[in-house]
């Protein structure tokens, strides 16, 4: 550090020192507001939806709470901003929200052209098709000529067109702006087919009055890595978002839950000591105190707790972990070392 300062001169030296002490403009705003403004879905079961008591619940919502637990020490300090598919990137670009945590697929265009920067994937998904069983359709390849409900501003709309053209099939899109209206259009029979991320189809079907009448076809026509995104240009806030997600995965890997976290305080494992802030060091790289990770685990839970609470076997969605299992359990979820 000293050599760099001498060679590179005062300007770089000062900016290095400034960045060590300063946590970035977004965290400044969050601290000033005393809440994280989190862009979420308008109402998608399992991911982000208000419950009967008016509380926002879901996996994307819990990630927002994790960011607040890390940044402000309190998972309740979140202002949820419901956004449609088309509104979400403008809300992020304009500074209306600090983070977008809303079943949003990580793509090159959204990063390269829409100014978003995606954190780690919180749910690996793929696009599917749902039909009324009375159509007797068993495969997406039988959908030639179908009328298909889809929302604008989504990867879904683009993949749909690619899939049908690639397979030499025709379709009539029914493009509808709001999720509630797409659902209404499909369930009233205006469209033969509903296409969306498979998890969203599962959620929409689970909420339907006669859900047993509908079938999700076996094909997954795309990769939909769903991840929270921040605005480009604020690395410090990006780091907090990124490492908050990793903390939920790391806690799962070590079997640390919201219920048992206190029993780990006498651990002899130096990695766990650091993670829990028993020994110093984990806060400094994020410009936070050493308790940020333990705050997440205590107040929100590890990834498995978050998953099971919102999407797992005891929920209406009943989604298997699949690709969303940890790396050492056959899935893709992997946290780098927090040291
Ligand atoms: N993952 C896809 C689809 C995300 C998406 O916006 N899906 C729609 C259909 S479930 C949605 O969430 N709509 C909610 C709304 O507009 O209120 C993407 O990022 O484009």
- Break the chain into its structural domains and give their ranges: 21-124+226-326, 127-222
Q: Which whole number is the average pLDDT over 107-118?
A: 97
Give the distance (Å) from ligand 1 centre to CA of residue 157.
10
Give the distance (Å) from ligand 1 centre to CA of residue 38.
16
Ligand 1 nearest atom to the CA of residue 83, by list position:
17
pLDDT band at 147; cut points 50, 70, 90: very high
pTM, two decimal places: 0.93
C-alpha distance across the termini of the chain, in Å: 19
Minimal-distance CA residue to ligand 1 atom 6: 85
Give the distance (Å) from ligand 1 centre to CA of residue 40.
10
DSSP summary character for residue 322: G
Task: State residue 190 phi and psi, 5-degree precision.
Answer: -70, -25
Question: According to the model, what pLDDT value does residue 9 have?
Answer: 36
For a substitution probing ligand 1, which of 46, 58, 152, 154 has the most ligand atoms within 8 Å of its CB? 154
User: In this model, does residue 13 exceed pLDDT 70?
Assistant: no
Ligand 1 nearest atom to the CA of residue 125, by list position:
1
Question: CATH number of the domain at 127-222, out of 1.20.1510.10, 3.40.640.10, 3.30.2400.10, 3.40.190.10?
Answer: 3.40.190.10
Q: Which whole number is the average pLDDT over 222-239?
A: 98
SS3 label, residue 288: coil
Q: Which residue has the tokens 């600090």?
A: 98
Question: According to the model, what pLDDT value does residue 146 have?
Answer: 98
Burial class (CB in 10 A: 0-12, 13-18, 19+), 314: exposed
**CA–CA separation, 124 and 142 (whole Å):** 26
> Who wins on pLDDT, 6 or 324?
324
Same fold, 21-124+226-326 and 127-222: yes
pLDDT band at 106; cut points 50, 70, 90: very high
Give the distance (Å) from ligand 1 centre to CA of residue 4.
47
User: In this model, does residue 17 exceed pLDDT 60?
Assistant: no
Nearest Cα to Cα of residue 223 among 310, 108, 81, 63? 108
**Are 68 and 76 spatial neighbours (Cβ–Cβ below 8 Å)?**
yes
Domain 21-124+226-326 has CATH 3.40.190.10: yes
| Residue ranges around ligand 1 (CB below 6 Å) | 41-42, 44, 84-85, 103-105, 151, 154-156, 178-179, 196-197, 200, 224, 226
């Amino acid at each position: 550090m000293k050599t760099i300062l001498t060679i590179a001169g005062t300007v770089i030296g000062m900016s290095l020192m400034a960045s060590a002490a300063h946590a970035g403009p977004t965290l400044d705003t969050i601290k000033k507001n005393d809440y994280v403004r989190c862009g979420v879905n308008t109402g998608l079961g399992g991911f982000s939806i208000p419950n009967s008591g008016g509380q926002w619940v879901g996996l994307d919502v819990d990630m927002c709470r994790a960011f607040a637990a890390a940044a402000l020490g309190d998972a309740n300090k979140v202002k949820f901003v419901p956004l449609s598919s088309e509104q979400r990137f403008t809300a992020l670009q304009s500074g209306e929200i600090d983070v977008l945590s809303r079943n949003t697929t990580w793509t090159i265009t959204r990063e390269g052209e829409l100014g978003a920067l995606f954190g780690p994937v919180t749910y690996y998904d793929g696009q599917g098709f749902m039909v009324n069983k009375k159509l007797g359709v068993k495969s997406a390849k039988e959908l030639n000529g179908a009328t298909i409900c889809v929302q604008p501003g989504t990867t879904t709309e683009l993949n749909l067109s690619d899939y049908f053209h690639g397979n030499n099939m025709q379709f009539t899109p029914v493009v509808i702006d709001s999720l509630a209206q797409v659902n209404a259009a499909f369930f009233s029979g205006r469209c033969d087919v509903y296409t969306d991320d498979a998890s969203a189809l599962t959620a929409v079907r689970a909420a339907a009055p006669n859900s047993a009448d509908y079938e999700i076809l076996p094909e997954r026509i795309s990769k939909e890595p769903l991840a929270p995104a921040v605005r480009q240009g604020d690395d410090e806030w990006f780091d907090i978002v990124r490492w908050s997600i990793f903390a939920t995965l790391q806690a799962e890997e070590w079997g640390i839950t919201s219920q048992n976290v206190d029993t780990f305080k006498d651990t002899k494992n130096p990695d766990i000591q650091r993670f829990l802030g028993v020994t110093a060091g984990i806060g400094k790289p994020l410009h936070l105190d050493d308790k940020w990770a333990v705050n997440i685990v205590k107040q929100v839970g590890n990834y498995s707790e978050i998953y099971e609470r919102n999407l797992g076997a005891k929920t209406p969605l009943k989604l298997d972990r699949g690709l969303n299992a940890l790396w050492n359990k056959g899935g893709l979820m992997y946290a780098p070392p927090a040291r």
